[in-house]
Structure 1
Amino acid sequence: MSETALLYDVDAETGIATLTLNRPQQKNALDMSMRIALREAVYAIRQDRSIRAVVLCGAGQDFCAGGDLRGMNVASAEEGRNRLDDLHGWVAMLLDLDRPVIAAVDGVAYGAGFSLTLAADFVLATPRARFCMPFMKVGLVPDCGAFYTLPRVVGLARAKDLVFTAREIQAEEAQRIGAVFEIVEQDRLRARATQIAASLAGASPVAFGLAKRALNQSLGADLRAMLDLESAAQGIAFSTEFHREAVQRFKDKTTPLFQWPPA
């Protein structure tokens, strides 16, 4: 892509798509052009099966400062609801994407920026990364799916703390409460995110997609529903060529198809 609010790049060799929020002078705050570009990119990724993993990052020194307040001139409750409904379509699609999503966070991840990280499967952060749900400071409530994701990631009590107090947390606390997977030095952030994406891209796409969707449903389902889902998913996974080849490689004591940790 040329210089736009979102840079969208796909490495044809690895199948890794990189989405770079690209308004560095505004700390990559989400304006309408970026929201539209993200929607188009997420739709494109969903349709393109050659894409095996996604890396989400920010240009410059920050991940995302949240919504651009200068563009939030909402005249009515109906307009406000429609604004969020338009956004939530692609947010739900990103959350449910049947491929690994890795967020690489440097600097601020505030508001909708924090919410975007919660939509990822793995969050990497630099030591200078900062996370905040600042909505109470401007009389708003969390969005971009945070009411769903935040309690599931950090627990209900900690979610209330972060939302009600609007306090900022550093990378170490974010890791301690489960919102960050790994802390990485700034000069290694992008490379490490790509490394993890490449490793996960080597997993069975069928098994990964089935497991991710089952885990996303698990907290809202009862035991019987999850057991039924397991049976159906495992039946599909057993039938894949990936499974058959992986078993044969195990028997032959040759290099496995999927390798972790990434190296």
Structure 2
Amino acid sequence: MPYGQAVDPTAFYAEAMRLFRNRKPLVAAVEGAAVGAGLGLALLTDFRVTCPEARFSANFNRLGFHPGFGLSLTLPRLVGAQKAAMLFYTGRRIGGEEAVAIGLADELVDKVQVLPRAMALTQDIAASAPLAVASTRRSLREGLAEQVAEANQQELAIQREQFRTEDFREGVAAMAARRLPVFHGR
């Protein structure tokens, strides 16, 4: 498939929904880029451990299309509507320090400590009563998977329309050329 041609993310979203419906807490170790769908993947977890070198970006609008992966629901839920709007509309990349400051990530450690700290956090969780953890997670995330599935369907319908636009082609071409896009609203 040629670079810049849209891929139908239906199967990808279906797999992500399997992770959303998981009954056990998930911890992400983010030591590099969590951009676009990678950000969506990071946000389906319960906790994110990161480092100053990490990069987070909801770059969809900069590429010429609507956010996906349920991010229109999960990002505002995590950081608030105003901060989410800023990240969506600008596609701005933020580092690990800012991600922790705005609530996008939970812990900031040195890069070499990201995975060990994420593993230690999973061990901290595993030391708690499994039935209590599972029921608490179920209460905290009540209805979230269903809401995300609905958001995915809405986002996907919008994306499919926008994947056929000149703006989408320009956004992808600009990213490939490492230049700012010039959009025309068509």
TM-score norm. by structure 2 comes to 0.71
Q: Could you tell me which amino acid in structure 1 is paired with residue 62 of structure 2?
A: K
What value does the CA root-mean-square deviation take over the aligned residues? 2.2
Q: 1:114 and 1:183 mapped to 2: Cα distance? A: 17
Mark the CA change 1:69 to 1:172 in structure 2 (over 3 Å): closer, same or farther: farther
Q: 2:117 and 2:58 mapped to 1: Cα distance? A: 26
What displacement does 1:85 show? 2.6
- 1:200 is aligned to 2:132: no
Q: Return the structure number with greater strand share.
A: 1
Note the 1:188-227 alignment, pairs <5 A. 188-217=113-142
Tell whether the 8 Å contact from 2:62 to 2:89 is kept in structure 1 after alignment: no
Q: What runs of 5+ residues in structure 2 fail to find an aligned partner?
A: 145-186
Secondary structure in structure 2 of the residue aligned to 1:142: coil
Q: 1:100 and 1:213 mapped to 2: Cα distance? A: 10
- 1:73 is aligned to 2:11: no
Q: 2:39 and 2:48 mapped to 1: Cα distance? A: 11
Q: Which has the higher contact order (CA 8 A, sep 6+)?
A: 2
Note the 1:29-108 alignment, pairs <5 A. 70=3, 73-74=5-6, 83-108=8-33
Q: Return the structure number with greater helix share.
A: 2
Secondary structure in structure 1 of the residue aligned to 2:142: helix
Mark the CA change 1:102 to 1:93 in structure 2 (over 3 Å): closer, same or farther: same
Secondary structure in structure 2 of the residue aligned to 1:104: strand
Residues 130-154 of structure 1, C-alpha deviation per residue, up to 9 Å, x if partnerless?
A: 1101111211122222122111100
Note the 1:75-224 alignment, pairs <5 A. 83-217=8-142
Tell whether the 8 Å contact from 1:100 to 1:201 is kept in structure 2 after alignment: no
Q: 2:60 and 2:2 mapped to 1: Cα distance? A: 11
Q: 1:207 and 1:92 mapped to 2: Cα distance? A: 23
Q: Which has the larger displacement, 203-212 or 108-117?
A: 203-212
Q: Could you tell me which amino acid in structure 2 is paired with residue 160 of structure 1?
A: A
Q: 1:136 and 1:130 mapped to 2: Cα distance? A: 17
Tell whether the 8 Å contact from 1:98 to 1:208 is kept in structure 2 after alignment: no
Q: 1:165 and 1:135 mapped to 2: Cα distance? A: 9
Query: Which 4+ residue blocks in structure 1 deviate beyond 6 angstroms?
Result: none
TM-score norm. by structure 1 comes to 0.51
Q: 1:218 and 1:155 mapped to 2: Cα distance? A: 19
The structure having more radius of gyration, on CA atoms, is: 1
Q: What runs of 5+ residues in structure 1 fail to find an aligned partner?
A: 1-67, 75-79, 220-263
